[in-house]
Amino acid sequence: MTGPMPFAIHYVGDGYSTDAKLMGRQAVGKSLFRAIARQWSGVDVYGFGRGASGAMMEQLKREGFAGRLVWREQGSTAPPPGFPGTLYHPGPIPVALAHDRNREGPGAYSLFGVTHTLSSLGAMDSVGDLAGAPFQPWDALVCTSTAAVTLVRALMSERRAWLAEHYGATRFAEIELPVIPLGVDVAAQARPADEIAAARQDLGLAPEEVVFLFAGRLSFHAKANPAPVYLALERAAAGRRLVCIEAGQFHNEAIAESYRDAQRTLAPSVRFLHAEGADPAAYRRAWCAADVFVSISDNIQETFGITPVEAMASGLPVLVSDWNGYRDTVRDGQDGYRIPVTAPPEGGGVDLALRHALQIDTYDRFIGQYSMATAADLPVLARRIGELADSPDLRARMGAFGRARALSEYDWPVILSRYQALAAELDRLRAGAPRASTAWPLRPDPARLFGHFPTRRLGGDWSVTARPGGESALADLLGLRMTTYVLDPTRFPPDMIREIHRLAQAGPRTVGDLLAAAGGGGRPRLRALLWLAKLGLVDLTPPA
């Protein structure tokens, strides 16, 4: 490990762990943490709550991290000394995160996020928001593929055109849109010969059986409909012994049964195996037993596709659709084959988008309906399956090309070096930017917005007097859910209330003097004083 990270991490637990959900975004975030733990000896983090801080440190330790973690509490007023000037978020940058930055000043630090799926309403709204304030030219959205950056530019352009038409807007944010792919742990994907032999023996595979592997979410409507693969395998099965392993998780038993029905109907000559994605040993065994990786994606929720890159890192030839990010990663005829795909012409999905926007159809139904109008070239797919099944030399040559490409282009150290260069470029763009804070519209200080509600407002020249014998009363009040639900171990701990009460008991003084004795005003201390007044432990008296 070498020194501290050159950028900070925005910690959102869901973005870096597969404990609650196993999807591409979470798997990539977990893999990123593993790479960070191995590459840097110091990690700076922006997040909320002591529990989150501990959870992140534990996750890093599990990946071998033995360095220091500097935690900056989200919503704090000043960063710790030496905190990096660039903050990474594991998705498109939320508007709230930019407003949070701008309260310190638009030039306080840079933000960069990364694209994952871009087809949901929330994702498209997030990208459209990047076209204007509160974002700045020293912010960035990393686009994981050429397909992703084209889509992002289109969404931002449409948003700008709408704002210009309806509001006469002429000034828009021009953030950076670099194309940087997702990373993989190439070393972890290696398949030693003894593991391959053991896996094939464990699964009862004969030497002449050729195994085609799909790994990922097993969802025909939201990931990749396997029916074309089944049909192509059946066409290619004449005179060949073909096996298809599907490694992943089914959302429910009904979906699992629908896969089994389709297999029996569409590919009766092919042997099918399922490897449970939640079982690391079974999942690994499926990868080791494979001869060819296949992913005929047909779904608009896919914009990069990490599993073909993992397959390349594993030394497997890849058979993919000519679709989105697969075009960037898989070189047709070198690392594997890309199968042509046909989709509707422009205007062919307007009704589907409208029904989803009006919440008539769910997101799953929307993307599922469009995927069924997206057709891979079945004759070409069947022919490529046959070519790969018949030629161990072709499989070995393509697998070697793919692994070399994964090492040079997609290994995490390579990707992190590109993130580091991006952070340096954002630092350069931010130099000289204004540091004056800017307001977050429609999210004002309630003490200002609702300041006309109360009879009066507390002032620093008010006097504070503690009621006698308040220790036991305070202990009782700190034991009640009704009065302690606002407390927080990091920002508003019980000890803060005890300290303010102790100072008040030392004798009458002004609000300003008491808060100064407590270490300075500070909003939580001010609210602690009013907590005591609300519950009858101190009296607050305005000047005569």
pLDDT digits (tens, 9 = 90+) for 432-460: 888 888 888 888 989 999 999 999 999 99
Please give the helix or strand (H or E) that residue 95 lies within, else none. Answer: helix 95-102
Percent of the chain with pLDDT over 70: 98
Question: Mean of the per-residue pLDDT values for the chain?
Answer: 94
Q: How confident is the model at residue 2 (pLDDT cuts 50, 70, 90)?
A: confident
Cβ(224)–Cβ(214) below 8 Å: yes
Walk me through the domains of the chain, giving residue ranges and CATH numbers.
8-183+417-430 (3.40.50), 187-409 (3.40.50.2000), 446-541 (no CATH)
Tell me, what DSSP letter sits at residue 344?
P
CB neighbours of residue 239 within 10 Å: 8
19 band by pLDDT with thresholds 50, 70 and 90: low
* Distance from chain centroid for Cα 427: 23
Q: Report the distance separating Cα 7 and Cα 419, nearest Å.
A: 8
Write down the pLDDT at residue 488: 84
- What tokens does 260 get? 């089994």
H or E segment to which residue 242 belongs = strand 242-248
pLDDT-derived band of residue 28, with 50, 70 and 90 as boundaries?
A: confident
* The pLDDT value given to residue 521: 67
Report field, pTM of the whole predicted structure over 0.85: yes
Task: Grade residue 377 by pLDDT with cuts at 50, 70 and 90.
Answer: very high
Query: Is the pLDDT assigned to residue 20 strictly greater than 60?
Result: no
Least confident of 292-306, 384-398, 434-448: 434-448
Q: SS3 of 253, please?
A: helix
Mean pLDDT of 188-206: 98
Name every residue whose Cβ is closer than 8 Å to that of residue 267 and which is 6 or more positions away in sequence: 230, 231, 233, 234, 237, 244
3-state secondary structure of 485: coil
Instruction: Judge whether 73 and 48 are in contact, CB under 8 Å.
Output: yes
Q: Supply the DSSP symbol for 267.
A: -
Buried residues in 87-111 as b, exposed as e (16+ CB within 10 A): bbbbbbbbbebbbbbbbbebbbbbb
The confidence score (pLDDT) of residue 24 equals: 67
Q: Please give the pLDDT value at position 21.
A: 55
What is the enclosing helix (H) or strand (E) of 55? helix 50-62
**pLDDT grade, residue 3 (50/70/90)?**
confident
Distance, CA of 265 to CA of 516 (rounded, Å): 78
Q: How many CB atoms within 10 Å of residue 158?
A: 14
Dihedral sign computed on CA atoms, order 218, 220, 221, 225 = positive
Report the run of H or E that residue 271 belongs to, with start and end: strand 271-276
Rg of the chain taking only CA atoms, in angstroms: 29
Backbone angles phi, psi at 271, to 5 degrees: -90, 130
Helix axes of 494-505 and 523-534: crossing angle, nearest 10 degrees:
70
Tell me the backbone φ, ψ of residue 229, rounded to 5 degrees.
Answer: -65, -45
Residue 539 phi, psi dihedral angles, 5° rounding: -110, 135
Helices (H), 168-268: 193-202, 227-236, 253-266
If you average pLDDT over residues 98-105, what whole number do you get? Answer: 92
- What is the pLDDT confidence band of residue 18, given thresholds at 50, 70 and 90? low
- The DSSP bridge pattern shows strands 110-114 and 140-142 to be parallel
Q: What is the pLDDT of residue 14?
A: 72
